[in-house]
Structure 1
Amino acid sequence: MKPIPYGRQHITQDDIDAVVETLQSDFLTQGPKVLEFEQKFAEYIGAQFAVAVANGTAALHLCALALGVNESSRVITTPITFAASANCVRYCGGSVEFADIDPETGLLDLEKVRQKLESQPKGYYCGMIPVDFAGMPVNLEAFRKLADEYGLWIIEDACHAPGGYFFDSNGEKQMCGNGNYADLAIFSFHPVKHIATGEGGMITTNNPELYEKLLTLRTHGITRDPAKMHENHGGWYMEMQELGYNYRMPDMLTALGISQLKRAEAGLLRRQEIAKRYDLAFQNSPDIKILNPAAYVEKTSSETLHAYHLYVIQVEKRKELYDFLRAKNIFAQVHYIPVHLMPYYREQGFKKDDFPLAEAYYDMCLSLPMFPSLTDEEQDFVIASVKEFLQHA
């Protein structure tokens, strides 16, 4: 069987045609396709505003800048995430702190965050960055209530969860990244994500002031809007009003994003199907713990849609299973090495045993292949290979 990665982009002829059409147009970079992608993505997510940027990391950095993170800022996030969720605070000179996870979901534990906030006077922390890890939506209504109690802002890292949602206490559907509870939310369009553009990211918000600030920060801190200028020398004139960055997303990539967005719902449904097939295959396996199986989600919140960027299992002999699968051309992956154990963050004072639940999760976690173009035959081979290993482990 050909190699099976843990994630893979799906590029169709329509995608190729959309990019070629843009390549033959007058714009390669900041042109009309950028605004079109922003508007269509905002509509899909249910947010008022969207800002396309170079990648998900740039999105996080701009969010931190727009919210005023600086050397005196202290921000809480999860240790089970890609490092960028924490790094964005460090880019601005702020301090990152972590709270442990809920072992049933892999998500930042609300009560652990509360304990951290209660341990310090109000005002000690300025914000939090919860992550919709693996595609499981964070209950942002609960986090918003806690944030308001302590005067914190929220950046939702929704890179894993476009299309995911939960229902709030009023019975209203809350799409990941819709801006109803988070001040800002971010997405990534890396090839393994739901919508693939090669590189690219998006920030969504319902706050018009933050939206305007993000537009300026994305483009060197420069404005061409006469209404915002201190002076105006003529039609060529522009003003750099603050220190921004070149975090723009080019037209040819947003054209690909628009085309991919048309298949977003179909891709999400296929991810659900793949997850259910895994759940059924492993539900009676005593040696496997499934992170967020459908049965668990249905039991705790039948009104939650897991977006399944990742399908995570936990096994005792994770390294041995990882190697066994690779020998069969199945390239499972580990998500994630706890951020606080990275050498850089150890230098900031973090150490092993600081967050035991996150570390215990890491010791056993493995992400199995999960992408819409995964065939049933390929998935059956993955399932059979996992079971084969466990029979002889």
Structure 2
Amino acid sequence: MLAYGRQSIGQDDIDEVVRVLKSDYLTTGPEVPKFEEAFCAYTDAAHAVAASNGTATLHIISLAIGLTPGDQVIVPSISFVATANGPHYCGAEVIFSDVDPETGLMTPDTLREAMTRADPARLKAVFIVHLNGSPVDLEQIAGITKAAGLYLIEDACHALGTTYSMGNDTGKVGDCALSDFASFSFHPVKTITSGEGGMITCRDPEMVAKLALLRNHGLERDPELFTDADIGFEEGTGAHNPWAYELQMLGYNYRMTDFQAALGRSQLGKMAGRFAPQRKALVAAYRRKLKPIAHLVTPAPNTDNVDAVLHLMVGRIDFAGRGKTRREVMMQLRDLGVGTQVHYIPIHRQPYYAKLNPGLTLNGAEAYYAGCLSLPLYPDMTEADVDTVVQALAKVLGQ
């Protein structure tokens, strides 16, 4: 069975995890900062903060920018629910943006429309999603958020390795040249995995210090930053108490383990030489081989003038026009050995958020959702596997 996505774990990855399991530190050791440093080098980021998963990164970003009940944020409706949940954990009201019906991406126009439904005095941040690995028009959206004095956070969980247009130049997703933060996930089906895990990139050292506290209960262990001398230092001598720590803000246990970091760093080392080129080659093969059946299925378009490393290969299908439901198509493909998935149900339609947004209709999100189907894409696939998928699509949709 060809799954829609899966991890690619080699013996070198296993050896790195075993090495750490035999070491002195399984957590709070040296591997996490090594992974953070390597991630900065790969994304051209100034700083990186690792966490336990991608949802945790969105949560502590929301905490770091000071979101509280009564604040508002804008989030595209086509994404995983975590993009909305992260700021909503802080009590922020989520204003859902519509998306382009073909790409599923927030656009400058859909952002502006969402802003008309927000209270300018309460709107604090915009969370964008580089869906499937294709970037939004980051330059134009950043211009809008900057003019409005809003934080801009990239949910880049699909887009490790992707570049975006920036004037006559390009940037790497995660460099935060136009945004305040970028959030990444290392779930097994993502571009690289650490089992579970996440990373935040950022250019502001003060925000990085906040994020580091928030992922570790809010505890400070650096004696130079202590605020209570009775806790931190011996009375009379002023010597540092080696056991001392201070709770300086309310944080969470969102730490990444050292063996997760070792796996993540090993995986990251394969991006340039294997993972990114193989994903690009498979996507190119899909685009060639789907052309003869373009009347049945077409690939969701990439945005122009970018070098995307896709996490998901999405086909756009007129299910009603083929006389079949999406479920029927998925089940028939499964019987032919092809696994598929749907990314995503519009968040504003989920019962929890629908109760908070009664009557909200987002036509672009509905249209994208109605026709999307995620096809198999992962580094261990071959071009022959792409042939298998395309032949199965032709058989099922051509009946």
**Cα 1:255–1:388, aligned 2, differ >3 Å: closer, same or farther?**
same
Corresponding residue for 2:142?
144
Does the 8 Å CA contact 2:107/2:136 hold for their aligned counterparts? no
The residue matched to 1:103 in structure 2 has which SS? coil
The 5 Å alignment of 1:267-346 reads: 267-284=275-292, 285-292=294-301, 297=303, 301-302=304-305, 304-317=306-319, 318-346=326-354
The 5 Å alignment of 1:147-226 reads: 147-169=145-167, 171-226=168-223
| Partner deviation per Cα, 1:282-325 (whole Å, 9 max, x = no partner) | 124212232115xxx5xxx33x0122100111112233221211
| Partner deviation per Cα, 1:93-144 (whole Å, 9 max, x = no partner) | 1100111101232101211211232455633311100000000012222111
The Cα RMSD (Å) is: 1.3
Task: Give, as a single letter, the amino acid of the residue that structure 2 aligns with 1:280.
Answer: R
The residue matched to 2:74 in structure 1 has which SS? strand
Task: Give, as a single letter, the amino acid of the residue that structure 1 aligns with 2:39.
Answer: F
* Residue ranges of structure 2 left out of the alignment (5+ in a row): 234-240, 320-325
State the alpha-carbon separation in 1 of the partners of residues 365 and 158 from structure 2: 18
The 5 Å alignment of 1:94-173 reads: 94-118=92-116, 122-169=120-167, 171-173=168-170
| Partner deviation per Cα, 1:342-384 (whole Å, 9 max, x = no partner) | 1111121244x61011011111110000101112222211110
Does the 8 Å CA contact 1:137/1:305 hold for their aligned counterparts? no
Quick check: 128-137 or 273-282, which moved more?
273-282
Quick check: 113-122 or 91-100, which moved more?
113-122
Task: Give, as a single letter, the amino acid of the residue that structure 2 aligns with 1:364.
Answer: G
State the alpha-carbon separation in 2 of the partners of residues 349 and 131 from structure 1: 21
Number of aligned residue pairs: give it.
Answer: 381
Larger Rg: 2
* Residue ranges of structure 1 left out of the alignment (5+ in a row): none
Corresponding residue for 1:385?
392
The residue matched to 2:356 in structure 1 has which SS? coil
The residue matched to 2:190 in structure 1 has which SS? coil
State the alpha-carbon separation in 2 of the partners of residues 158 and 35 from structure 1: 20
State the alpha-carbon separation in 1 of the partners of residues 107 and 388 from structure 2: 35
The residue matched to 2:314 in structure 1 has which SS? strand
State the alpha-carbon separation in 2 of the partners of residues 224 and 166 from structure 1: 38
State the alpha-carbon separation in 2 of the partners of residues 377 and 119 from structure 1: 48
The residue matched to 2:20 in structure 1 has which SS? helix
Q: Normalised by the size of structure 1, how large is the TM-score?
A: 0.94
The 5 Å alignment of 1:214-293 reads: 214-230=211-227, 231=229, 232-233=232-233, 234-265=241-272, 266-284=274-292, 285-292=294-301
Corresponding residue for 1:366?
373
State the alpha-carbon separation in 1 of the partners of residues 17 and 118 from structure 2: 52
Query: How far 1:147 moved relative to its partner?
Result: 0.4
State the alpha-carbon separation in 1 of the partners of residues 122 and 42 from structure 2: 36
Q: Normalised by the size of structure 2, how large is the TM-score?
A: 0.93
Query: How far 1:247 moved relative to its partner?
Result: 0.3
Does the 8 Å CA contact 2:70/2:122 hold for their aligned counterparts? no
Does the 8 Å CA contact 1:332/1:366 hold for their aligned counterparts? yes
| Partner deviation per Cα, 1:316-337 (whole Å, 9 max, x = no partner) | 2233221211122311000000
